[in-house]
Amino acid sequence: QDGKEKVMEAIREDAATNGRPVMHVLQSMDRPDQERNPVAYEYISGTYKDGMPYNGVHARINFRDRRWDFAVVSSADAPKTVIRFASSFQRRTGKEARIAWNGGYILNPELVGKLGLPETYIGSPLGLIISGGEMISAPLFNKPALLVKRDGSIDIRRVHCKDGLIIKRRGKKILFGPQMYNATSPYGGTAYYDLLHTDPRIEGDGRTVVRLAGNYVKEVLATKEGEKITIIPVGLTLAFAPEEVPENLKVGEQLELILPGFEEVVHGVEAGPLLIDHGKVTIDMEIEGWKTSNSIRTQAARLDYTEMRGPKIAAGINKEGQLVVLTINGRIRESVGSTHEDMAEILLNLGIEKAMGFDPGGSSTLVVDHKTLNISPYNCDYESNVFSLPPEPRAVSNAIIGYIDE
């Protein structure tokens, strides 16, 4: 009887404070040493100052006595759920994905149609992606990225490409100095432009303009004197003076991108916004470029609205260098979701020193040991019945996977 009362009391107490699933409460009573697991996770719940409820889960990676590594995985074809990314990674590498979550932003079919772009732009990354030391896409604004270095350390910081760019092609290097970054008229030489360029058009003036999506050439445009070319809000735009145009540069060609300061980074993914830096809330949508027209045009939902609550996901680093991933459920009765500021406050209470957000809403997915921990507000057939379909993870274009390198 004492044992039964003890269990019932634990369930009642947890229901009032944490709201965890009953099975998780029972398992934590049976295995109180969860802290020693490679990934320990805990359900949380509470109310904001305005009385609105929230709940979610945070997972913490245990770095003690284990060598962890991380990978950024992408799908060049159709998007996949995070669980499918984890399963594919395990089949391909033989490494068990112990934790995985959704990554950065891409250009989906709806946005491609809205922008009037060819279908070839569908799935284009909208920020930095580094995988296995290869830069698949360069930074396009000044947004934060999660960076994994060669020594296994993790950093979170804002990333940009204003310090110069190197492109390797057919064994040769094409150098773009910092003075060529977002160069404006009357400058008529070789230059490169990101999406922080304030003018929606650049001077053609006989230059050859190359539009990139990620590290692929999408368009090569010859211009005339006085002609202006529109910058599309997808990737970097290169402009070559007539005497410096690379020989036989073709659409579909893959280039090697190199940025100074990223030599030691083996994996990285840009998302945002930056939530915490040096233990303080540092949300700044202006400095990161979220308020620019180029960013707004490629947002499926207005991420620059800081007062909008919804499902959110974020990753942070504490003083000990441990990585914590937090997801807050939203669009359900028990949880209204979070604003960026709400996420920062919850993470600060967890002892986080640096943190950034990732693709929120229905894309938010946290997987530990092949189990999805958060509640998705999404169902792929939602248009057929908006009231009674069960939640399911949304397919995404890239994910971050953590595994033990044994």
Number of H helices, E strands in the chain: 7, 26
Domain of residue 127: give its range: 109-267
pLDDT in tens, 249-274: 999 999 999 999 999 999 999 999 99
Greater confidence (92 vs 380) lies with 92
Give the CA dihedral 123, 240, 177, 264, nearest 10 degrees.
30
Name residues whose C-beta falls within 8 Å of residue 206's C-beta, 6 or more positions apart in sequence: 188, 223, 224, 225, 242
Greater confidence (221 vs 306) lies with 221
Q: How far apart are CA 222 and CA 203, in angstroms?
A: 12
Q: How far apart are CA 50 and CA 345, in angstroms?
A: 14
Q: How far apart are CA 284 and CA 270, in angstroms?
A: 16
Same structural domain for residues 335 and 242? Answer: no
Hey, which residues does 40 pair with through a beta bridge? 60
The number of distinct structural domains making up the chain is 3
Same structural domain for residues 227 and 144? Answer: yes
Same structural domain for residues 290 and 187? Answer: no
Same structural domain for residues 216 and 228? Answer: yes
pLDDT at 249: 96
Name residues whose C-beta falls within 8 Å of residue 229's C-beta, 6 or more positions apart in sequence: 201, 202, 204, 209, 221, 223, 237
Same structural domain for residues 259 and 326? Answer: no
Same structural domain for residues 37 and 26? Answer: no
CA 286, chain centre distance (Å): 18
Same structural domain for residues 238 and 330? Answer: no
> Of 8-22, 60-74, 180-194, 349-363, where does the model show the most confidence?
349-363
pLDDT at 234 over 90: yes
| Average pLDDT value for residue range 185-200 | 87
| Average pLDDT value for residue range 60-88 | 89
Q: How far apart are CA 377 and CA 394, in angstroms?
A: 9
Same structural domain for residues 48 and 118? Answer: no
The number of CA neighbours under 13 Å toward the Cβ of 393 is 24
| Average pLDDT value for residue range 28-48 | 80
- Strand segments, DSSP code E, in 82-138 are 97-102, 129-131, 134-137
Judge contact between 145 and 157, C-beta under 8 A: yes
Taking 3-state DSSP, the helix, strand and coil percentages for the chain, each rounded to the nearest 5, stand at 20, 35, 45
| Average pLDDT value for residue range 291-314 | 90
Query: Among 215, 232, 267, which residue terminates a domain?
Result: 267
pLDDT at 380: 80
Q: How far apart are CA 74 and CA 397, in angstroms?
A: 6
Tokens of 319: 């003083």
Residue 343, helix vs strand vs coil? helix
Residue 324, phi then psi, degrees to nearest 5: -125, 135
Tokens of 153: 């350390």
Judge contact between 191 and 183, C-beta under 8 A: yes
**Alpha-carbon distance values, 93 to 39, 42, 75 (Å):** 20, 29, 16
Same structural domain for residues 123 and 64? Answer: no
pLDDT at 188 over 80: no
Average pLDDT value over all residues in the chain: 91
pLDDT in tens, 98-124: 999 999 998 888 889 989 999 989 889
| Average pLDDT value for residue range 176-191 | 87
Query: How much of the chain, in percent, has pLDDT values that exceed 70?
Result: 94
**pTM of the complete model:** 0.91
Same structural domain for residues 262 and 277? Answer: no
Name the residue with tokens 């910058």: 231
Judge contact between 129 and 104, C-beta under 8 A: yes
Q: How far apart are CA 190 and CA 164, in angstroms?
A: 12
Same structural domain for residues 294 and 389? Answer: yes
- Calculate ∠ Cα 287-141-205, nearest 5°: 115
Nearest to 358 by CA among 38, 45, 126: 126
Greater confidence (378 vs 156) lies with 156
pLDDT at 187 over 70: no
Judge contact between 401 and 71, C-beta under 8 A: yes
Judge contact between 166 and 178, C-beta under 8 A: no
Same structural domain for residues 20 and 65? Answer: no
